[in-house]
Structures are given as structure tokens and as C-alpha cells.
Chains A and B, each alone.
Chain A
């Protein structure tokens, strides 16, 4: 079980979190994928539930930035939603999510509302749709304070103005009276950050906060996040598919694949020496500017699995260059590979050399790409 990076009690403690949906919800969405499910794949469970997050353990310490990396469908967004109880209708949550010792999963909505926004806040991917187009910015900012902190209208407005300035929006008073569609994309994302942090929560969940922004704005928002962490010591869970963002901002990284956590490490350790074949393959896929140009761009062969037809054993095994026989039979548990570095993989040798089960295609991939 992962230990907190420092002695004090972790702010957020997630154990064995599982999020599942009734099978019908996915039945219409991916008919083609089902047609290509491997024979012998584990059939959907008896009660016909699809698990999109499977047994995740995570800790978050005060003031740290935890990056969660994964592709679409890996379950990373569902993980965040589950923390705040925002999953869609029909979702079943199992496991434990503790904030400062208080269990959140079983809480009724009325009590959960005391935590949402005030102690744990969330920003979403697309600022254009995350703000209510029918209400002014000022309204959407002040209501958080008025509901959670009982602040009066005037005082709330003043603090909203101060918050906008804290996220580097000049001329705050004018913008408070504007509507979301009157602002640019970057400004809207700043507003959503302001909205999330105005009640001074201790945890910020950020779901791909920069994905829908262009690159220059992206770096400004990342810098802003870093500054806000310095100033307020808020802990940030940053979900993204962009390893560059992780490299820029995160202290620790957790990599997710097919709903499970497959590697967790401090950011330098992960980039310097990944211990899981998936993380390693991802890094190999990046074309590098040093060295000779590759003949072909590397990629990971295969597709991520359909949650309705998960293979028995390790979910990554079908695409893994290092797979062993045991990988197809049993899912590897998360084990410690180095201080503060965990991986969920049966393969124990250092990565970088073709493993015993490497297919010709995988070997060609390794040869065509760079040798790390």
C-alpha cells in the first residue's frame, strides 16, 4: 500500500476505489469494439456492470501536485468525479475515499455539499461549457462564498474581485458584470479557477484544465496553477493525457491504464526510469530532438481494451512487449519497486531490452524508435 510521501496524515486517502456502470449504458456506444473482443475474454459480470475504475489506491498530501496520466478511457476523469460524487446516473461506487479521515463515498448529497467547493473543488476541461452562460461572472463567483461561508453580498463581491486579480484578470470590476461569452477562452479558464479557489479549499481536482486551450494560453494557466499552489498551499490532482504538462507541474505521477493504477512515482523518477512497460512505451513514442531522426514514428501496437470485454489478467498484456505467461492469467498487484516508486507489473527486469515474449512487431518498434 502506498505510503504518504511525508509523515503527516494524507489529506485525501483513496483505497480500492471502484466505479462501475450498468452494462446498458455502454451497449449502444461501442458496438464495433464488442465485435472485436478477443475470444476467451472475460464476459461482463453477472450483474452486467462495467468497471471503469478498478481498485485504485491513492494518497494526496497537503500542498502537493499529483499528476494522473492516462489516455481517454483509462478512467482518470471518472476517478475525479467519484471523489466528489459527481458520477453519472446509475454509477456504483465501492471502496473508500477519505478526506481528513472523513469518509465521503457514503455521504448523502446534502452533507457532501459541504465538502464540494469549500474543501475539495474541481475545475473541468472545457471552460466554454463549464460556466453558466445565463449568469454573470460575478454571480457565479459570489454564490460560492455566500453559500459556503455565509458572506454578505458586498463583501462577496469584493472578494470575487480580489480573486479575479489573483488569477491575473485585470479590470476585475468590469468583468464581474460580464457574461461568460464575453470573455476569451483563457480568461474563462482563469475564471473557473477563481471560482474553484474562492472558498479556499484544500484540494483542487483539475480535469484536463489546459486541453481545450491553445499552447500559449496553456503555459500561462500552468504557471498560474504553480503560483496558486505556492501561495495557498492547495493540493492539486491534475488529470491529463499530456506528459508535457505532467513534466512541467507535477510532484508525483500516477499512470492509469484501463481503470487501474499501473505505476506511481515522483515525476523525475518516472521520466528517468519507468518501471512499467506502458509508461516506458509512452516515452519511447515521443520523437526526440536529439539524436538521428527515426525512420518511423514509434507507437504502441493494438488498442486499449473495451471495458465490457476486459482480458483476464493484466489489461495491458495484449500489447505488452515484455509479457510473460503469468501476465495473461493474473492481474499484477501494485508492488514497491524502489523508494516511493510502485508498479503493477509481473516483469521484474529493467526495461529497455526486448523481453522474452517480445513479438517481431514489438522488436521492430524498439529498433525503429530510440533506445532510451
Chain B
């Protein structure tokens, strides 16, 4: 198990390096420098700024410096907010993202999982067809469609929930963003779990378990659930990546002060360091989640561990 973890870590490092290098390349390949704003600057000031941001050094030296800073976790200063570092901005937005993201993930797994497994148990009846049709709809409607529609219905028309903004500690402000973000994943998870549960229930070893006279509930929970979860665990990596992407949209629609919104403003204001810094963060996060998902998979499926 330890060796497996080590092997996975070893693959993660070059991936991270690749993302960092790509980010660096993009940063310096952009047409026009980062200070190509409308204001003209005195050459002296321009030189001072370049020195401060080390833009006058040869490229390879900047790359090494960049990697060094990165390995210390320093993502550099923001170009928009001259006195704030990217790290500080991220730290500011992180609690919002964490709350919304985790809540959405939990919702997707619990609701989707329950619906999916139940649909499999009620296979062929309307308790199978109806939820699956709804799940298909959930997958097909994009996040940026659901979010405004939810606002339209629940905030504007019905006045049940607030239309946006972030009020720390207020659960009602969380409901719509979390639901909007989680909706397609509820659908994916439900379909996935239904399919894999059906497949597992048709397996020969489930027939053996029935032949042993074990009660149905025991068969479901001890024999069927673990194998049925493996495709879900495989899916977690892409799912989390999707949640990250979706959070960008949700935060901009609902006006939540999270990292995603900073990302959008950075894009609009050409704040390259912030932009690239957040991208590297996203990349690292996804790699970490994939690693954790792989470890979960090995924990569930004993056949994988030996390799």
C-alpha cells in the first residue's frame, strides 16, 4: 500500500511541474508585457518596476526563481492589487470556496448515491425510470443556466431565498449556490451508482451470497456496496475538477467572494500573476484530489494494492 502511494506521488510531481512550467510560459508569452496598460510610464519608473518584479533578468533565471518561489508556496504579488500577494487573495477567498465546494460534493454524493442505488434496487419500475430521467435532465442543463434560473424562481418570483451575496454564517445564502453547483453532479452520481449497482448485483458472487442464505440488507451493504463504489471513486477526480470549474460560474452569478470570482476579475483586468497563480493552485488541487481518489480506490479494492 505504501509503495502504491509512493508511486502515485512520484507521478504527481512531474505533472505539477508541467503545469507550473506551462503557467510560466504563458505568463511570459503573452503579447505585450504585464504593464501594457493605457498609462504611459516614465522610463525610470518602468525600469524600477521591472527590477522589482525581476523582469529584467534572463528568462531561465526568472524560471528558476519562479520554481523556487512556487516550491515555497509563494505565488507572487498581484498586479492589480499592488500591495497584496496572490497568496493573500487566495487565503481570503478560500473559506468561501471550501464551504460551497464541500457542501456541493457532499450533496452530490449523498443524494446522488441514494437515488442511484435505490433506482437499481427498484430496477424496471417507475422508481427507476423517473429519477433517471430527472438525472438526465440534471446533467444536460449547464450550471450557468441553472444558476440564473434558480435565482429567477426562488429569489425573484418566490422570495424564499436571497439572490446572492455572501453573508458568513448564513445558511440561507448557501442554499442556491450549493444546489446550482451540485445539480449536474447529483445526476452523474445517480446514473453512475445505478449502473454499477445493477452490474454488481448481477455478479456471480452475489449469487453465492444469496445461496448462503444471507439477508438482503447484509448482501447489499457488505457484499454489493463496496464493489459498486469503485467506479464512483474513479469518477471523483474528474468530479472535483468539474466542481472547481463550476464554482467559477456559480461565484460570478451569485456574487460570492471566492477564488473563482477573483479569477474572473483577474481575467478581465489582465492580472497575470493572479490568473496564473490561481490556475496553478487549481492544478495542484486537482492532482491532490486525484491522488486521494486513487488511494481511496486502493483501499476499497484489495486487488489493486498488490501491484
Chain A residues with a Cβ under 8 A of chain B: 84, 86, 109-110, 112-118, 121-122, 124, 126, 129-135, 143-144, 147-148, 179, 181-182, 192, 195-196
Contact = CB atoms under 8 A, between A and B. Distances in A.
A181 B302 contact: yes
Contacts of A132: 205, 208-209, 223, 227
Interface string B193-227: 00000000001110111111111101000110011
B301 interface: yes
B82 interface: no
A113 B222 CA distance: 17
B288 interface: no
A67 to B, nearest CB: 20
7 contacts: A84-B211, A109-B216, A124-B207, A129-B204, A133-B301, A134-B300, A144-B213
B208 A192 contact: yes
B39 interface: no
B208 A113 contact: no
B214 A117 contact: yes
Contacts of A192: 208
A179 B306 CA distance: 11
B303 interface: yes
A200 B226 CA distance: 29
A126 B205 CA distance: 10
A181 B306 CA distance: 10
Interface centre among A110, A133, A182 (most CB of B within 10 A): A133
A116 B211 contact: yes
Interface of B is mostly: helix
Interface centre among B212, B214, B222, B300 (most CB of A within 10 A): B212
Contacts of B302: 133-134, 179, 181
Interface pairs A-B: 6 shortest CB-CB = A116-B213, A117-B213, A129-B204, A117-B212, A113-B213, A132-B205
A235 B64 CA distance: 77
B197 to A, nearest CB: 14
Contact of B303 (A121, A122, A181): A181
Given A134-B227, A134-B300, A135-B222, 17 more contacts: A113-B213, A115-B213, A116-B211, A117-B212, A117-B213, A117-B214, A122-B208, A124-B211, A129-B203, A132-B227, A134-B301, A134-B302, A143-B214, A147-B213, A181-B302, A195-B208, A196-B212
A182 B254 CA distance: 53
A143 B218 CA distance: 10
A124 B204 contact: yes
Given A86-B207, A86-B210, A124-B204, A133 B303 contact: yes
Contacts of A147: 212-215, 218
